[in-house]
A and B are shown apart, each in its own frame.
Chain A
Amino acid sequence: MIKIENLKKSFGELEVLKDMNVEVKPQEVVCVIGPSGSGKSTFLRCINRLEEPTGGSIYIEGNDITDPGNNINEMRKNLGMVFQQFNLFPHMTVLQNITTAPKRLNGKSQTEADKLGKQLLDKVGLADKADVYPDNLSGGQKQRAAIARALAMEPSIMLFDEPTSALDPEMVGDVLEVMKSLAKEGMTMIIVTHEMGFAREVADRVIFMDGGYIVEEGNPQDLFDNPQEKRTQDFLSKVL
């Protein structure tokens, strides 16, 4: 589904990603963990080209997203993204936040888009917030609305960039619940996270990154309970 080969990214002199190779199968949930500055967010942002890779290829269902010949806007419709800072559109109601893209980009009528939007709001537990502006939502509600907005384009892959890091602790659970139910439904997901408990429970595979490399990867039980690499052990001993 996703095949990343020799991905490199530098910001000027600073080499943030050094030769990343990752493959993600359909319906797989991959969690990326690692210390801050390890390049995990940059890695995620390269997958939909929010960051322009310096080298390598990223195949999404067979098409290389780094190929300038491919229509980036079309390819991004298939890659939902959820940000740490939510990035909801403050000048639109929650429902408008969700319906604008499917209406304009997927040719949905107002009625169809509204129906889809309400279904999605129901799914993330915000059915009563359709006509509210984002400023009047709590952090957890904002993030769930943002997930609904990304789902409205009916992507086959969802990318999460530290979705719970900006939330008050009591808000984290609701957002993780929504993500869990998505995983159960078979959504392909790549999640950059600091929630080790969540990663252990939901991930099919965990990738530990440090210094722009994949240091170690494996199923969550192996990686959390029996890490092979020294750096993984150090990191886990600090966060677990």
Chain B
Amino acid sequence: MITNTATNHIKEETVIESLQIMIDALPVLLQGMWLTVLITVISLAIALVIGLVLGIFSITQNKILRGISTLYVDAIRGTPILVQILFIYFGLPAATDLSLNAFTAGIIAISINAGAYLVEIFRAGINSIDKGQMEAGRTLGFSYSETMRLIILPQAVKRMIPAIVNQFIVSIKDTSILSVIGIAELTMSGQSIYANNFRAFEILFMVGVLYFIIVYSLTLFARWLERRLDVA
């Protein structure tokens, strides 16, 4: 009976201590989280442009443009993101005068990686629109690009949202690999804390919670967006 109370007492103390460690770590982790969000937002904005432009390249009649698009997608999808990150940060400076700071290298790597997957999403989305839509636009007198912008893309993008969001979520989590080139994003921040206090359980738990918050906010935003577009 007495021993039991004692154990409970000790357990309670451990929980309080764990919570205290998590709270203490929060300021540093939030800084890391901010960097993760910053890298993600910049990279995905760039990736969307890459995806749209090369996605349209991949459906044109022009063989050279199609070739560029295919080569890019195949090269990126065929290699691990870790290798891509290391290549841009260590590989390029070793062979050229080009030397990038870790932050820039990280953004380039995530943009190029997510861009390749978005090319495929855009290509499939645009192809899923009946070709009669392009014909109807063109016969009214719209140019190819006007028809794309006014008629094809608004319909295609609506269909692509779930796939785009899925890729965004993958990319958010991929930013954790940037810790290997020393960017103090969320994962790296966590690592630096438990390297000092040896409380890996509490710190990594908190890191997980913070990633979940980022990803879940995006998921909620996407659901809201889909509902809004569904009205039209």
* Chain A interfacial positions (CB closer than 8 Å to B): 48, 50, 73-74, 76-77, 79-81, 83, 85, 87-91, 100-101, 104-105, 133, 146, 149-150, 153
With A87-B130, A91-B158 in contact, is A73–B139 under 8 Å at CB?
A: no
Q: Which of chain A's residues have a CB closer than 8 A to the CB of B135?
A: 50, 83, 87
Complex alpha-carbon distance, A149 and B130, angstroms: 18
Q: Which of chain B's residues have a CB closer than 8 A to the CB of A101?
A: 140-142
In the complex, the chain A residue whose C-beta lies closest to that of B140 is A101
Min Cβ gap B128→A in Å is 13
Partner of A76, one of B133, B139, B146, B158: B139
Partner of A90, one of B140, B143, B150, B155: B155
With A85-B132, A104-B146, A104-B150 in contact, is A50–B139 under 8 Å at CB?
A: yes
Further pairs besides A83-B132, A153-B140: 10, Cβ < 8 Å? A50-B135, A73-B138, A74-B141, A76-B138, A80-B139, A81-B136, A88-B136, A89-B133, A101-B142, A150-B140
Q: Check: B210 CB closer than 8 A to any chain A CB.
A: no
In the complex, the chain A residue whose C-beta lies closest to that of B154 is A91
Complex alpha-carbon distance, A146 and B92, angstroms: 56
Q: Check: B232 CB closer than 8 A to any chain A CB.
A: yes
Complex alpha-carbon distance, A222 and B141, angstroms: 37
Complex alpha-carbon distance, A152 and B133, angstroms: 17
In the complex, the chain A residue whose C-beta lies closest to that of B155 is A91
With A83-B132, A87-B135 in contact, is A77–B154 under 8 Å at CB?
A: no
Total A-B residue pairs with C-beta atoms closer than 8 Å? 57
Q: Which of chain A's residues have a CB closer than 8 A to the CB of B146?
A: 104
Min Cβ gap B95→A in Å is 45
Complex alpha-carbon distance, A81 and B140, angstroms: 8
Q: Check: B151 CB closer than 8 A to any chain A CB.
A: yes
Q: Which of chain A's residues have a CB closer than 8 A to the CB of B142?
A: 73, 101, 104-105
Interface of B is mostly: helix
With A89-B151, A91-B155, A104-B146 in contact, is A77–B136 under 8 Å at CB?
A: no
With A89-B151, A91-B158, A104-B146 in contact, is A77–B141 under 8 Å at CB?
A: yes
Can you give 8 contacting A-B residue pairs, CB < 8 Å?
A76-B138, A77-B140, A88-B136, A89-B137, A89-B151, A91-B232, A101-B142, A150-B140
Interface of A is mostly: mixed
Do A73 and B141 touch across chains, with their CB atoms under 8 A apart? yes
Complex alpha-carbon distance, A77 and B135, angstroms: 13
Min Cβ gap B177→A in Å is 38
Complex alpha-carbon distance, A9 and B141, angstroms: 23
Do B143 and A73 touch across chains, with their CB atoms under 8 A apart? yes
In the complex, the chain A residue whose C-beta lies closest to that of B131 is A87
B217-232 vs A, Cβ < 8 Å mask (1 yes, 0 no) = 0000000000000001
Q: Which of chain A's residues have a CB closer than 8 A to the CB of B151?
A: 89
Q: Which of chain B's residues have a CB closer than 8 A to the CB of A104?
A: 142, 146, 150
Q: Which of chain B's residues have a CB closer than 8 A to the CB of A80?
A: 139
Q: Which of chain A's residues have a CB closer than 8 A to the CB of B150?
A: 100, 104
Do B136 and A89 touch across chains, with their CB atoms under 8 A apart? yes
Which of chain B's residues 106-163 have a Cβ closer than 8 Å to chain A?
Answer: 130, 132-133, 135-143, 146, 150-151, 154-155, 158
Do B136 and A83 touch across chains, with their CB atoms under 8 A apart? yes
Q: Which of chain B's residues have a CB closer than 8 A to the CB of A100?
A: 150
Min Cβ gap B227→A in Å is 16
In the complex, the chain A residue whose C-beta lies closest to that of B135 is A50
Do B154 and A87 touch across chains, with their CB atoms under 8 A apart? no
Complex alpha-carbon distance, A81 and B138, angstroms: 10
Complex alpha-carbon distance, A146 and B135, angstroms: 13
Min Cβ gap A23→B in Å is 22
Complex alpha-carbon distance, A174 and B136, angstroms: 22
In the complex, the chain B residue whose C-beta lies closest to that of A149 is B140
With A100-B150, A104-B146 in contact, is A87–B133 under 8 Å at CB?
A: yes
Q: Which of chain A's residues have a CB closer than 8 A to the CB of B232?
A: 91, 133
Complex alpha-carbon distance, A76 and B147, angstroms: 14
Q: Which of chain B's residues have a CB closer than 8 A to the CB of A85?
A: 130, 132
Q: Which of chain A's residues have a CB closer than 8 A to the CB of B143?
A: 73
Q: Which of chain A's residues have a CB closer than 8 A to the CB of B138?
A: 50, 73, 76
